Amino acid sequence: MTTESSTETSTGDPQPTLLIDLATGLWKAQTLTAAIETGVFETLATGASSAPELAVRLGLGERPAEILLTACTALGLLDQRDGRYRNTAVADRYLVPGLPDYFGDYVRMVAQYTAPGWMRATEAVRTDAPTKPVPDPDRNMFEEGNRPKSFWDGLFAFSTLTARQMARAVDLSGVRRIMDVGGGAGATLIELCRQHPHLSGTVVDLPHVCALAQERIDAAGMTGRITTAAADFFADPLPSGHDAVLLSMIMHDWDENQNRKLLASCLDTLPSGGTVLISELLVDDDKSGPVDAALMSMNMLVGTWGRNYTGAEYAGWLRDAGCDRVRTVRFDSPGANGVVMGDKA
C-alpha cells in the first residue's frame, strides 16, 4: 500500500498514486502471465542469460524480450546484473514448472478463467449476478464442462500452500479421520496428511473432480490414507465415519441459506464432539478489510452467488447449527487467514 506521505505534495494536495496503481493492476498481472506462458522463468532456471540470448532461446524478437525482461525485473521477479538476467528467489521457488510449489497454473487460471468475469465487474455490482461466462448457465457452476480442468489444476498449489499454514496453526492432534467437503483435486487433504502422519480422510466432491483428486492422491503416495467419495453435497448425504469435517474455501461460493444447509449436513454426519472447521479469508467483523478477503469477496461477486463472510458470521452459524466451543484460529496464507471451528454438542 502506498504510504500517506508519498501521496501528498509539499502543499498537502493528494496525489493520484494509489489510483494509478489500482487502475494499472492488470498490467502487472498480464506481465506475469506473459512471462510464464513464454517460458521465461523455466528457461532462466538453467542459468542467467542476456536479453538477446534469451530472445533466441524463447523464440522471441529482441524488442519484446527486452521489454518483458525489464518489466519482470522492475516487478521483483528477475534480477539483472551486468546485462544478464536471473530468477529471483520467489521465481525460482514458485514459477519453475515441475517444482512442488509451482504457482504458474494458478496464475494462468486467473488470467484465462477468472479475468473475463472481472472485466464486467460493474455489471456484477449492478445486477447482483455472476458475470463470469460459463458454457452452460443452467447447470451447477462446478459441474464438468463449466469448470475446466485448468481451474482445479490452478487451485492445487494455492490450496497446498494454504493447507501447509493451516496444518501448522490448527491443533489436529485429536482428529483421526477428517472429511474435506468440496475438497477439489485433494490438495488440502494431501497436505494436511503430509504434515500430520496420524491423519487420514476422505475428499468429497463431484464425480469428475474426485477422479482428478484420485490421480493426485496416488501421485502423492497417499492412496492408503485418503479416499474419495463422489457426491453433490447439497443433494446427497455425506459419508460417515469421520471425527472432523473441513470446509476449505467452500462457503464463500454460496449464500447464507445454502451455507446453513451445508453446515447442518456436516453436523448430521458427525458424532457428538466432532469438529467442523471453516477455513476462509475472513472479512473483518467491522467490514473494513483486509484487502485480500475483500477482493476475494469481489471475486465471488463476479463468479458465484456467494461472498466472503466475517468470522462472527461463521461463528453465529455454527452456534445456530448446534456447535459449542466455537473459536477462531488465525494464520497467514494465500487462501485463508483463519479457521472458525466448532464442536458438535
For 315-343, the pLDDT digits (tens) are 999 999 999 999 999 999 999 999 999 99
Phi and psi angles of residue 126, each rounded to the nearest 5 degrees, phi first? -75, -35
Peptide bond into 100 cis (omega under 30): no
- Flag residues of the chain having pLDDT under 50: 1-5
Q: What is the pLDDT of residue 152?
A: 86
CB–CB of 339/314 below 8 Å? no
Cβ atoms 213, 205 nearer than 8 A: yes
Please give the pLDDT value at position 148: 75
Q: Which of 198, 208, 242, 252 is catalytic?
A: 252
Determine the pLDDT at residue 145.
66
Predicted pLDDT at 275: 98
Question: How many DSSP H helices and E strands does the chain contain?
Answer: 15, 10
Write down the pLDDT at residue 4.
43
Quote the CA–CA distance of 1 and 345 in Å, as a whole number: 44
pLDDT of residue 5: 42
Architecture of domain 5-94 in this structure: Orthogonal Bundle (1.10)
Per the annotation, the verdict on 252 as an active-site residue is: yes
Antiparallel, parallel or unpaired: β 200-205 and 177-181: parallel
Sequence-ordered strand ranges (E) for the chain: 49-50, 78-81, 84-87, 177-181, 200-205, 226-230, 244-248, 275-280, 323-330, 338-344
> Where are the CATH 3.40.50.150 domain residues in the chain?
113-344
Q: How far does Cα 70 stand from its chain's mean position?
A: 29
CA 27 to chain centre: 21
Give the pLDDT of residue 163: 97
- Residue 324 has a pLDDT of 95
Domain with CATH 1.10.10.10 in the chain: 5-94
Please give the mean pLDDT across all residues of the chain.
Answer: 94
Protein fold of 113-344: Rossmann fold (3.40.50)
Per-residue pLDDT at 229? 98
